[in-house]
Amino acid sequence: MHFSRENEFTNRLWGRVNIESGAAMYYFSRKGPVQQALHQLKYHNQPDIGVKIGRAFGKKLRSSEVFQSVELIIPVPLHPKKERLRGYNQSALFAQGLSEPMGIPVLHRVLIRRSFTETQTKKKRMDRFGNVGEIFVVDKPSLIAGKHLLLVDDVLTTGATLEECGKALLSVPNTKLSMATIAIAVN
């Protein structure tokens, strides 16, 4: 996906949020090895998994013309309460891994999750959209104005979270947006 501006990732978000491009490292299917790795990352205190996958994907994205103009990496934020419970933000670890080979800084706490929501994992498609509507805001928009941002998360399923984060980021003048995830769910 990372060599083409239009692909399966961008098609899933088409007409919902204006992105330059998007890509996922792996395909995610229930009970598959990617789900097992992500489960270890998120729920079994294995933060190194996120960093290692990020490094591997960062090398691929660095070689892609599509992602050459990215200037900043922004992880999808967790609510502070959820981050304290888990001990870390898995998307921030993925961002850290991407940052190293790409040579692009990660901006934490520019995109803020202002309310605590239930996990999306067991929600149906339409419930996911209602669960994340308008809960993301940009703090210090001057830090990202006029920049090409790479928004990163662990999994693209329905795209509800990425869409809402993207809308908040694109509300800042002259901002361009691309997206990357560890995995994309198989429909």
- pLDDT at residue 129 above 90? no
Q: Note the pLDDT tens digit of each residue in 59-93.
A: 999 999 999 999 999 999 998 898 999 899 999 99
Domains of the chain: residue spans and CATH: 8-185 (3.40.50.2020)
Residue (of 92, 61, 55) closest to 75 by Cα position: 92
Q: Are 151 and 178 in contact (CB under 8 A)?
A: yes
The count of other CB atoms within 10 Å of the CB of residue 114 is 11
Q: Region 152-176: what's the mean pLDDT? A: 96
pLDDT at 121 over 80: no
What is the pairing mode between strands 148-156 and 111-113? Answer: unpaired
Mean pLDDT for the stretch of residues 12-32: 94
With a CB cutoff of 8 Å and minimum separation 6, the contacts of 187 are: none
**Which one-letter amino acid corresponds to residue 187?**
N
- What is the per-residue pLDDT across 165-184, written as a single tens digit (0 to 9) for each? 999 999 999 999 999 999 99
Q: What pLDDT score does 115 carry? A: 76
Which of the residue ranges 2-16, 105-119, 135-149 has the most confident prediction, judged by mean pLDDT? 135-149
**What's the pLDDT score for residue 59?**
97
At residue 56, the 3 state secondary structure works out as helix
State the Cα torsion 79-126-1-60 to the nearest 10°: 10
Per-residue pLDDT, averaged over 92-100, amounts to 98
Element (H, E) at 25: strand 22-28
Name the nearest CA neighbour of 155 among 61, 34, 43.
34
pTM (whole model) above 0.95: no
The set of long-range contacts for 10-13, using a CB threshold of 8 Å and a minimum separation of 24, is 12/156, 12/159, 12/184, 13/159, 13/162, 13/163, 13/166, 13/179
- Tell me the C-alpha distance between 71 and 88, whole Å: 24
